[in-house]
Amino acid sequence: MKDATTELRKSYIALLADIGYPVYSDEVNDTIAPYTRDNPPKQYIILSNQSNADLNIKQKYQSRHTIQVDCVTIYPAYNGSSLASETMADQVLQRIVTDYSNAIPITGFNCYKTNLDLSRQQDEKTKVANYYKRILIFSHYIEQI
């Protein structure tokens, strides 16, 4: 049985590549410059927590994979709102949750069902910046081809 974890992450990166925001795997690897008129709020997507559980039956290798997508917007302190992160999350949702005829492509696997398990807002306000994060957790039911 092959593990779909890496291939699922690659599929997410490919599906979100042209969404208009940087997509990072696990952590942001750039510095956050101060917000100015010429430097708008920072917005990015992080593919973070990922897990899988075997659902094998005698005839097929099946698994349930979950992946967390964080849609983040950073404003200077005392500015901004969650609207931008919510808009990003809506765009991600439209690309990931598809109908059965347009399942998310995963090399070497068949993704036969995708669900949005959780969507929640998490905000943090400090003296330096306001962080708005919409957290999406998706589950994918996958079988090995």
Contact between residue 86 and residue 123 where contact means Cβ atoms under 8 Å apart: no
Domains in the chain, CATH or no CATH each: 5-27+41-144 (3.30.2000.30)
Tokens 């991600």 belong to residue: 92
Q: Which amino acid is at 129?
A: A
Question: What is the predicted pLDDT for the residue at 103?
Answer: 75
In angstroms, what CA-CA distances link 56 with 1, 64, 113, 142? 10, 10, 15, 10
The structure tokens listed for 10 are 């690659």
The structure tokens listed for 37 are 């008129």
The structure tokens listed for 27 are 């952590």
Nearest residue to 115 via CA among 144, 143, 81, 142: 142
Run means of pLDDT, 10 residues per run, the chain, 145 residues:
84 91 74 54 87 73 90 89 94 83 82 91 90 94 87
